[in-house]
Amino acid sequence: KAGVTQTPRYLIKTRGQQVTLSCSPISGHRSVSWYQQTPGQGLQFLFEYFSETQRNKGNFPGRFSGRQFSNSRSEMNVSTLELGDSALYLCASSLFPQGRTGALEQYFGPGTRLTVT
Amino acid sequence: AQTVTQSQPEMSVQEAETVTLSCTYDTSESDYYLFWYKQPPSRQMILVIRQEAYKQQNATENRFSVNFQKAAKSFSLKISDSQLGDAAMYFCAYRRNTGTASKLTFGTGTRLQVTL
């Protein structure tokens, strides 16, 4: 079974631009979460989607948004990019958002390395 | 809010030896899960082991085991018979088991070096 895929793997953008990152979860997984990883702030939760609905959102400005499609694929968008948005953006998928067996495990993708200049 | 603390930024272990990585957390919840994730230089985050707070028995996965002390809010990872492939960043993570959120709260990580 194919793992979580993220595209693109690397991206360079200029301040003020916007960017869209894509995540395809493992087949059958319906929950997708996004995380931002930076050397200074570590791993921080951005948001989670399940059944095309945002279920939870981290403490990020409104410039960060996302959506999920009916096939569970998810995109996140960052508008008006700032230098501080440079980070590794990780996507994780799981069967469902909650549960006591199996569904708990989140599988991470390889990430998209975003550099803002 | 829940917090996860990893007080060891870097650790080193010789091949075949045993190393323990520390993690403490703070929460007012009673039902939650704890995880150790490994992130090798390739950057793909991999689940190493998980512990359910309502289970008193410490989780074990081959060479990896945890020491879960719920009262002390401590969750350490022991790696036995260390191998070169164990070199990576290790993150301790917490997830509550209420509601529908899958949010993981991560510690700052411990970089593990494995030497010959």
The answer to whether B44 contacts A109, with C-beta atoms less than 8 Å apart, is yes
Mean confidence (pLDDT) of chain A: 91
Q: What is the mean pLDDT of chain B?
A: 93
Q: How much is the average pLDDT of A60-72?
A: 96
Q: What is the pLDDT of residue A100?
A: 47
pLDDT digits (tens, 9 = 90+) for A16-32: 999 999 999 999 999 89
**Segment of A45-54, A73-82, A105-114, B26-35 carrying the highest mean pLDDT:** A73-82
Task: Please give the pLDDT value at position A103.
Answer: 47
| A43 contact residues in B (CB cutoff 8 A) | 91, 104, 106
Is there a contact between A33 and B103 if contact means CB atoms under 8 Å apart?
A: yes
Share of chain A above pLDDT 90, in %: 79
Given a cut of 70, whether residue A97 has pLDDT beyond it is no
Assess A107–B contact: CB distance below 8 Å, yes or no. yes
Distances in whole angstroms, Cα of residue B34 to Cα of each of A16, A59, A99, B57: 38, 22, 14, 13
Question: Mind listing the pLDDT tens digit for each residue in B63-114?
Answer: 999 999 999 999 999 999 999 999 999 999 998 876 666 789 999 999 999 9
